[in-house]
Amino acid sequence: MSEGSSQSFPRVRHIQIGYSPAEDRVLLRLAMVTGEQRSAWIPRRVMGRLMARLNEALKRSHPAGEGQPAADAVMAMEHVAARSELAGQRQGSEEGPQQEPGAHERTDAQPVEDGAYLITQERIDIQQGQVLVGLLGHDLPSAPGLAQTPRPVGALSLSRTQAHELLRMLTAQAEQAQWGLGRSVSWLRWLKSRRERGQG
């Protein structure tokens, strides 16, 4: 990654995502390639940056942009294609998507006692057509008053299709939390409003 070596991040195999009203945080349950399970708690401030930077990375790396951020209409069309591709993959497997990493949505997020982290920084990069998402944070529970440098918690290497799905799920959880972060992904909100009106 441009802001730090991707090799220093433990690799994530797949994730589950949910929102905890009691914590007022989004929870990513990370299944690492080592078999370890980690819980990454994301507060509103970090979620806003993560959504905005993931959206910006997708727009700037789109082939139609020719060096400029792709238009919202182009991003909306790519998102529809990504959703169709994922739906086809799910139909082709009775056990669900087997891609690495996969992402699964949860709405009943519960705290996990071991391997828990508070995410305070994010890294987004594009390398060889893959979208790299790195999360850095602090162990939970944390000792009060200690100024610690965040450490790498986990990194996902995503295709554009998977990155679109992650951005959709993050946006859905932010909306459930009523955090008002959807402005950073205006084209995704436009698609949702069209579907609700029965136009797409």
Task: Note the pLDDT of residue 94.
Answer: 44
Task: Note the pLDDT of residue 118.
Answer: 95
Task: Note the pLDDT of residue 5.
Answer: 45
Which positions of the chain have pLDDT values less than 50? 2-7, 94-102, 107, 111-113
C-alpha angle 34/85/59, rounded to 5°? 85
Task: Note the pLDDT of residue 95.
Answer: 40
Task: Note the pLDDT of residue 2.
Answer: 47
Task: Note the pLDDT of residue 145.
Answer: 65
Task: Note the pLDDT of residue 38.
Answer: 95
Global confidence as pTM: 0.81
Task: Note the pLDDT of residue 92.
Answer: 64
Task: Note the pLDDT of residue 67.
Answer: 73
Q: Which two tokens stand for residue 30?
A: 């990370």
Task: Note the pLDDT of residue 39.
Answer: 96
CA distance 151 to 130: 23
Task: Note the pLDDT of residue 63.
Answer: 84
- Give the chain as a 3 state SS string: CCCCCHHHCCEEEEEEEEEECCCCEEEEEEEECCCCEEEEEECHHHHHHHHHHHHHHHHHHCHHHCCCCCCHHHHHHHHHHHHHHHHHHHHCCCCCCCCCCEEEECCCCCCCCCCEEEEEEEEEEEECCEEEEEEEEEECCCCCCCCCCCEEEEEEEECHHHHHHHHHHHHHHHHHCCCCCHHHHHHHHHHHHHHHCCCC
